[in-house]
Amino acid sequence: MNSINKEVVVIGAGPAGLQLGYYLEKNGLDYVILEKAQQAGAFFKKFPRHRKLISINKVHTGFEDKEINMRFDWNSLLSDEYEPLFKDLTKEYFPDADAFVEYLDNFRAKHELKVEFNANVKKISKVDEEFHVDLGNGHSYVSPNVVVATGTSLPYLPDIKGIEFAVPYTECSIDTKDFENKRVFILGKGNSALETADHLIASASKIHVCSPNTVKMAWKTHFVGHVRAVNNNFLDTYQLKSQNALIDGDIDMIEKLEDGTFAVTIKYGNADGEVEQLIYDSVIACTGFRFDTSIFDDQAKPQLAIDDRFPDQNERWESVNVKGMFFAGVITQMRDFKKSTSGFVHGFRYNCECLFHILHKKIKGKDWPFTTLKAESKEMTDLIIKNVNRTSALWQQFGFICDAILIDGNEAKYLKSIPVDYLHKQAMPNLDEYYTITLEYGNEIFEKSPNPFNISRVHRNDIKNAHKSAFLHPIIRKIYKGRQVAEHHIIEDFENRWDELPIHIQPLAEFFEKHLLSDNSSDLLKGLKSSENMVKAMV
């Protein structure tokens, strides 16, 4: 067999594989991206089934700053040149999926990424510290680092008796004539389920959408994987009595009857456990996707997590049981499942940039990029204020990716866009003092509110209650000897501009004047330990 050695082998030329490839190419690493299809982004040739993306393409923002504009561009991949940009291909706010396929190929060509097409990986094995990636045609690649960026390519089907009678979302017809005057039952309440239901409103006689949990709207949870407004027309038809319904309940069984219809037995969640059998002409399972492990042999098979839907990963996006195997793209959402945006291009593109730095450190010994500054209040405050008003990484990956300031005597290092967990567990385990900067919502306030459109903002002059800010705002945390000892919230702003004196800048400067290189860190740490001991004693 003809074997070729590489520093990094990437499996999959979707948006994640290409994004990682950009950084590998730009920094001169020896890599290859293997893609089984004839083009990049082949997944998007078929999905979403009804062809409209729910990733926004906001062309007109009012800003000239390209970095700020990336906050509202959910499709473009990252590059130092900010090109090509998706908005140059289409102006549609919710664009057609075919445009994204074209964009990905443009990105690949523009940056001359090393993609090998028609490279169908048959098996990934591991011998000692090296992976062998067999293409099944007499050729293979050998590398100590494999990055799997294949996405979630298989349908996830729940354990329900008779689930084999349901047509998966991946295979269901999109021809509305097939459903004219038919009774349709849809499993699931995510975007694929509501996208499918919306598509059939005008043709089906009735549509029931069912899952054990109540529908969740993205505008309430801030998780863009929950139902988006573009897919919520179906909800109107339920509440306005148009023969359609949302059902909260467990599905006990699906049976196929002699006349070709299907009997679905449902235990209602909001009717004291009432059980009823309903009859439908079609059953469609829109219950999500899962990771395909068929290409791995036993020594290289990654452990799975979250109902076996995703590979289990540590804070480096590395397999917890296969050292040297990393993951990129939608499957990295295992680390922030339904909390931030790693399941989407506008989130995992930053993960890919971070993963490159992690690989660069492993392969070449390169430290995370940083700028130096004085460890003093004004300089640190000015840099933080400047960055939180521009950053797209912290904006998109809220609470998951941070900036960091590392204190070393009278000097400091400023690191941009580093995963919070990686920073704490891998990058800075022996550093006495450092600060993290994140953008976060006050989610607890949102969760307790029955109406997310009627939440009181903290008055701009009420600085002492900045920690009660419900909307996106910067949070600075001080870490001392591995423990958080102080926290500062920059008060929320209606237009998300945190650069007004004195309400945004002065309180932050005072925070640093109080905590920076001060002697009270040890006392704060002692206080934390004392409180923990009291809790343990009570337990």
pLDDT (0 to 100) of residue 178:
97
pLDDT (0 to 100) of residue 532:
45
DSSP strand pairing (304-305 vs 183-187): unpaired
Q: Specify whether 114 is located in the same domain as 143.
A: yes
Instruction: Please name the residue ranges forming H helices in 401-500.
Output: 420-422, 443-448
Q: In which residue are the tokens 């009823």 written? A: 276
pLDDT (0 to 100) of residue 530:
42
Query: Domain boundary at 237, 264, 287, which?
Result: 287
HSE value, Cβ hemisphere, 13 Å, CA-based, for 330: 18
Q: Specify whether 73 is located in the same domain as 22.
A: yes
Look up residue 420 and give its amino acid: V
pLDDT (0 to 100) of residue 537:
37
Show the low-confidence residues of the chain (pLDDT under 70).
Answer: 428-429, 517-539
Strand order in 31-34's β-sheet? Answer: 115-116, 31-34, 8-11, 146-148, 325-327
**Within a domain: 184:** yes
Q: Specify whether 378 is located in the same domain as 515.
A: yes
Indicate the number of domains in the chain: 3
Q: Specify whether 322 is located in the same domain as 396.
A: no
Q: Specify whether 211 is located in the same domain as 294.
A: no
**Within a domain: 412:** yes
**Within a domain: 192:** yes
pLDDT tens column, 256-288: 999 999 999 999 998 888 999 999 999 999 999
**450: which 2 tokens?**
């029955």
CA distance 404 to 420: 9
**Within a domain: 34:** yes
Q: Specify whether 150 is located in the same domain as 176.
A: no
pLDDT (0 to 100) of residue 519:
58
**Within a domain: 513:** yes
Q: Specify whether 140 is located in the same domain as 185.
A: no
CA distance 99 to 90: 7
Q: Specify whether 268 is located in the same domain as 309.
A: no
pLDDT tens column, 113-145: 999 999 999 999 999 999 999 999 889 999 999
Q: Specify whether 447 is located in the same domain as 460.
A: yes
CATH number of the domain bearing residue 232:
3.50.50.60
Tell me if 114 sits within 8 A of 34, measured CB to CB.
Answer: no
pLDDT (0 to 100) of residue 270:
84
Query: Domain boundary at 264, 287, 310, which?
Result: 287
CA distance 19 to 108: 9
**192: which 2 tokens?**
């694929």
Query: Domain boundary at 364, 398, 419, which?
Result: 364
Question: What are 500-509's contacts with CB under 8 Å, separation 24+?
Answer: 503/460, 503/461, 503/463, 504/385, 505/381, 505/385, 507/463, 507/466, 508/381, 508/384, 508/385, 508/476, 509/377, 509/378, 509/381
pLDDT (0 to 100) of residue 528:
47
**305: which 2 tokens?**
């997590």
**Within a domain: 9:** yes
DSSP string, 350-408: HHHHHHHHHHHHHHH-PPPPEEEEESSHHHHHHHHHHHHTT-SHHHHSTTTEEEEEEEE
Q: Specify whether 429 is located in the same domain as 509.
A: yes
Q: Specify whether 360 is located in the same domain as 427.
A: no
**Within a domain: 539:** no
Tell me if 361 sits within 8 A of 415, measured CB to CB.
Answer: no
**Within a domain: 200:** yes
Q: Specify whether 408 is located in the same domain as 488.
A: yes
**Domain range enclosing 83:** 2-154+290-364
CB atoms within 10 A of CB 87: 20
